[in-house]
Amino acid sequence: MARHVPSVFAEKVKEVQAEVDRVRTLERRAFEVSTEVLPGVRLVSTRDKGTSIVFSLWLWETDVAELCGDAAYPATGGLLAIDREQIAALSRVGVAVDLSYLTRSESLPGIYYALCDRVSAEQLRRVLGRLIPSLAGEVRG
């Protein structure tokens, strides 16, 4: 059973998802980390097989704890999230997302995430290369 999500946080998630959906429609050629789209949230974008891939990057500890569903998550620099609808859309065009590296959010079951100990561009590229194996060589530079 999913945990109760405070309405203010649920609204923030909804706004972030709307921004993810908007950014997915834009032309992207390379890896990019956006400025904050909402306080404590950036977007990490790339492209594979002609399809935009956009993860939300949550940086505030309170947001990370809410998405994890537990205040006792390990020390982390941020949380990289993707929703099941985007995973399904990527699968339909032949882009595989390795779910073994992702955890399903307890508070928001449609969201999957990976914790990042650091959120530098290089670290995020490495994480994306694990999450989307076909990107392993492309997101490095």
Residues 39-77 have pLDDT tens digits of: 999 999 999 988 999 999 999 998 998 998 876 666 788
Q: Which positions ≥6 away from 107 have C-beta within 8 Å?
A: 2, 3, 4, 5, 66, 67, 68, 69
Answer yes or no: is pLDDT of 92 > 70: yes
Q: Which positions ≥6 away from 118 have C-beta within 8 Å?
A: 77
Answer yes or no: is pLDDT of 89 > 70: yes
Measured CA to CA, the distance from residue 53 to residue 44 in angstroms comes to 8
Q: Where are the domains of the chain?
A: 7-135
What is the rounded average pLDDT of the residues 117-121?
91
pTM value is 0.89
Answer with the residue of higher pLDDT: 54 or 27.
54
> What are 34's two structure tokens?
């956006």
pLDDT at 6: 76
